[in-house]
Each structure stands twice: as C-alpha cells, then as structure tokens.
Structure 1
Amino acid sequence: MTEPTALDTKPFLYVVVCASGVAPDVGTLITAAQKADWNVGVIATPQALGFIDTRAIEAQTGYPIRSAWRTPGQPRPLPPADAIAVAPATFNTINKWAAGISDTLALGILCEAYGLGIPTVALPYVNSAQAAHPAYRQSLDRLRDMGVLIGSYDPHRPKAGGGAERFRWEEALELLASATGGVDRNR
C-alpha cells in the first residue's frame, strides 16, 4: 500500500459548467478553487462543450471533462465529489434540476447530490427576461429549499450579451466555505 499523495488528500470539487457567454472563463473558478486547496473536475453539459476550451481545462485540472454517461464496466474518471459548484448555471439547467429532470450527466449528478447530501452552490447567469419567468423564481425557491446556495448575480439585459464583468466566479467558493466551514482537510 502506498502513502496517499497531496492530490489524494485534498477535497474534490465538481464544477458543473453550462453553455453561456461566460462559460469560456470557467478556468477562473478552477484556478481559485485550486488556490483554495481543492482538486477540481469539470462536468459539462453537452452544449457547454462548444463554449469551453476542453484541452486547456483538462490540462489545468488533470482530469478529463465529463459530459456523457459511462457505460457499465468503464472506470470512474473522477473521484466522488465533496462539493459541487454549478457555474454558470443557466435558465434551462436551473429549471430542469429543480424539476428533477435528469436527461444529461450534469443534471443526473445534480439531482443525486441532494440525496447524497453534497454541499452545492449555483451561480446563475440569466438575462432579465428569463429571470422574470415564474418557473425560474419557483425553481430557485425549490433549490434553496433543497439546501442549494444561490449566487447573487443580477440578470443582464436580454440580447445585450454583457454581464460577464459582474459574474463573480469566486462567489462559488465563498458560498461553499460558509456551508462547509472551509475546506475539510481531514475527509
């Protein structure tokens, strides 16, 4: 039996990334998490794969990006999650997640996280027209009732792009620290 490495003893953060205009900057969150002593693996929605630099993220994390279900017998490419950050969390993902829809790997992981008691945060990135929809507000309420911590992003104007300069990637770590008391090095 070999001695665990530093990589083995750090807590593991899943970053679930959704397709949106800020998704290409997910490396900002990965860097901040690694500086805060987390190991990180990325779970991307299928559409998010077209928004992110998969090679750069895999090089940064040291793990493959997961986007599709494993087949029986395939090894698990990531360790179990100690926490999950959904960033950016889109209108579609928030509503499906709150409704218990599990039609992608990312949603399946998020739906299971509740039952497993995994601390989870979501940083929504939506426009004001989407945020005005009653289903969105109800979904946020349901996620909060499930214990999900929701970031403070103020929706941007529709069709204006924008808002990226106000998207606080580090807020995911701040919320996780408040939920977990910081990184648990004795897991």
Structure 2
Amino acid sequence: MTTRILYLLCSAAPPVFEIAGVVEEAQRRGWDVCLGVTPTAADWLEDNLPGLAALTGHPVRTRYKRPGQPDVWPPADVVLVAPATTNTINRWALGITDTWVVGFVAEGIGKGIPMAVMPCVNAAYAQHPQLPRSLETLREAGVRVLYGTEGFEPNLPGEKRPYPWGLALDVVEDLGR
C-alpha cells in the first residue's frame, strides 16, 4: 500500500483544540498526517506541540524554513485547511503570504495540489463583503470550499457547536482518489 500524505493546516479558531483527535481519525483512514499551524494557532497549542509532533511523526510546521534548509515533510498528496479563519481565507485569496500556512497553500494552487478549505467563522464575520469574494476566488482556483450547506455553516458569535471534521475528512478521501 502506498502511503498517502495529508497536510492538515490550521488557523487559530476553537476547533484547533480538537486537532489531536482529527489527526488520529485521519491516521485510521490511512493518511500520514503532517500538521502545520498559523503563528497564533501555535501560540494557542504551545503546550501540545511536542505531543502533536510525536503523534504525527513529523515536526509541526509554523514558519518558513530558511533558504537551503531541507524540507522536513514528504510531498503532500492532499491539503486540508481547517479550521480556516476569515483572516487566513482572505490572505490566501489575496495572495498575502506572510505566514507559512498561507504561503504554502497559495503556492499549492499553482502546483496543482488537491486542496480543500473549511472555514470556521461566526455569522458576524460572514457578513463582511470580502469573505464571499475570497471563497469564490479560491473555488475558481480549484480549491474545494466546504462552506454553507456544503460544509461549515456560520454560527452566532459566541455560539458553540460541533465542527464538521468528519465531513472535511470525507472530502479529503474524495480528493485523494
């Protein structure tokens, strides 16, 4: 059996605290998971980063490597950006690559890597006019967008409800075929 490589790239939204269970589920589905997080998500998960690296068997990526340094991960077969904040989505769609996560997925479009994004935004952020534009830009670029009736539906500010990780991993399976 060929090893399938999933890059799971996360922004700082509350579902990021569930990431160990998501990694384990992806591994049960046969994926070798490489975990990358935005700087704020790394701050939120600071105490868990060593355990997450041990769980995945790969270092958790949070920033760009220096020129000339070797890549520490195998090449991705599929990329899932989830949870994706409004900030991450808008920066990705606009090509603002000031973080490694956004830089990788922006370049991934040009490399033709199969990618999906599942936002995690509340209904107030969802009203900002740039968010639908950014999601449409990503769709047009070939990114599978899991939003609205096709994925995550915005919640009221402060409302807590389950994040549809299972749906996201089902889409990863589809993209990995």
Work out whether the TM-score is over 0.5. Answer: yes
Aligned to 2:120: 125
Which structure has more helix as a fraction of its residues?
A: 2
- Any idea what SS the aligned residue of 1:22 has? helix
Q: Is the 8 A contact 1:12 1:80 kept in 2?
A: yes
Give a deviation string over 1:95-137, Cα, whole Å, max 9, x none.
Answer: 1101111111101101011111111011110000101111001
What residue identity is the alignment partner of 2:119? P
What is the alpha-carbon distance in structure 1 between the residues aligned to residue 170 and residue 115 of structure 2? 12
- 1:123 is paired with a residue of what secondary structure? strand
Q: Distance in 2 between matches of 1:41 and 1:66?
A: 8
Structure 1 residue 24: Cα displacement = 0.9
| Contact 1:89/1:124 (8 A) holds in 2 | yes
1:108 correspondence with 2:64: no
The alignment status of 1:23 with 2:21, answered yes or no, reads no
1:177 aligns with 2:173: yes
Matched, 1:155 2:148: no
Q: Secondary structure, in 3 states, of the residue corresponding to 2:34?
A: strand
Matched, 1:85 2:68: no
Name structure 2 gaps, 5 residues minimum.
none
* TM-align CA RMSD: 1.3
Query: TM-score normalized by structure 1?
Result: 0.87
2:39 maps to: 46
The number of equivalent residue pairs is 171
**Contact 1:44-1:66 at 8 Å conserved across structures:** yes
Q: Could you tell which deviates more after superposition, 73-82 or 58-67?
A: 73-82
Contact 1:63 1:78 in 2 (8 A): yes
CA contact (8 A) 2:78 2:175 kept: no
**Deviation sequence 1:133-164 (CA, Å, 0-9, x none):** 11001111111111111221111111x1513x
Q: Is the 8 A contact 2:9 2:37 kept in 1?
A: yes
Percent identical among aligned pairs is: 37
| CA shift for structure 1 position 94 | 0.4
The TM-score, its normalising length taken from structure 2, stands at 0.91
Following superposition, the deviation at residue 85 of structure 1 comes to 0.4
- In structure 1, the gaps of 5 or more residues are 1-5, 182-187
4+ aligned runs moved over 4 Å, structure 1 = none
Using the alignment, how far apart are the partners of 1:62 and 1:94 within structure 2? 28
CA distance in 1, matches of 2:159, 2:39: 21
Task: Give me the whole-angstrom Cα distance separating, in 2, the residues matched to 1:56 and 1:88.
Answer: 20
Which of 57, 63, 66 aligns to 2:58? It is 63
Asked if the contact 1:20/1:51 (under 8 Å) is kept, the reply is no
Larger Rg: 1
